[in-house]
Amino acid sequence: MTKRIDLLASGSGTLAQAIISAVKSGSLDLEIVRIISDRPAQVLNRANENDIESTLLDYSRFSSREEWGSELERIIDTDRVDLVVSVGFMRILPKKIVEKFSIINTHPALLPNFPGAHAVRDALTAGVNETGTTIHWVDAGVDTGKVISQVRIAVEHGDTQDSLHERIKIQERFLIVETLKQFATAGLEK
């Protein structure tokens, strides 16, 4: 039986598109039930272009974090998915949601190093020779969940935030698809 996933995304949707393309090509045996964004974003256009249900759960339209979280919980519950995949979703999920659902996240650094929203900048500022990308389980902390998979990337002389982040994104797209292939066939150890 094909496993079902929801995607959470806040931006252009290149990670979501990598998953969509792998599903459409038949190399990834999953059903993408819905793409959810917390703000108007290009990823919602990608959903529409690929006939995937999408939901704009605009954080700014809710009176509280709890109200927003309750609606997100209701939507995921309704979708009856096996896994929630956060791909560039720039919102910390309420504890209730991360305890109720199996959720994985992509992160542009080698966790536990450089958690948070500025991982690429932080790696450059620290002067490290390598960084990378991580797929990890989401828990109640910020990028503190158990690591599932990682790819290392050398920091090159003259790298800027943009140049390094572009190289990380290429590996991130590969890694999320490979990790989801493992989930689809054998599951992921939590």
CA atoms of 71 and 67, how far apart (whole Å): 6
| Predicted pLDDT of residue 119 | 98
The radius of gyration of the chain's CA atoms, rounded to the nearest angstrom, is: 16
Report the b/e string of 145-156 with b at 16+ CB within 10 A.
beebebbebebe
Instruction: Annotate 94-143 with DSSP letters as a single string.
Output: PHHHHHHS-EEEEESS-TTSS-STTHHHHHHHHT-SEEEEEEEE--SSSS
| Structure token digits, residue 189 | 């150890």
Which residue is catalytic, options 107, 118, 136, 157?
107
Mean pLDDT of the chain: 97
CATH of region 3-185, choose from 3.40.50.170, 3.40.50.10860, 3.30.310.50, 1.10.3720.10: 3.40.50.170
Rounded mean pLDDT, 10-31: 97
Q: Tens of pLDDT along 47-59? A: 999 999 999 999 9
Average pLDDT for residues 59-82, to the nearest whole number? Answer: 96
pLDDT at 24: 98
**This prediction's pTM:** 0.96
Which residue bears the tokens 């490979």? Answer: 178
Report domain extents, the chain.
Answer: 3-185
Q: What is the mean pLDDT of residues 132-136?
A: 98
Q: Backbone phi, then psi, for 173, in 5-degree steps?
A: -65, -45
pLDDT in tens, 145-165: 999 999 999 999 999 999 999
Mean pLDDT of 24-50: 97
Read off the pLDDT of residues 77-115 as tens digits, 9 standing for 90 and up: 999 999 999 999 999 999 999 999 999 999 999 999 999
pLDDT (0 to 100) of residue 30: 98
Is residue 107 flagged as an active site residue?
A: yes
pLDDT at site 170? 97
- Specify the pLDDT at position 101: 98
The rounded percent of the chain whose pLDDT value lies above 90 is 98
**How many Å apart are CA 41 and CA 50, to the nearest integer?**
15
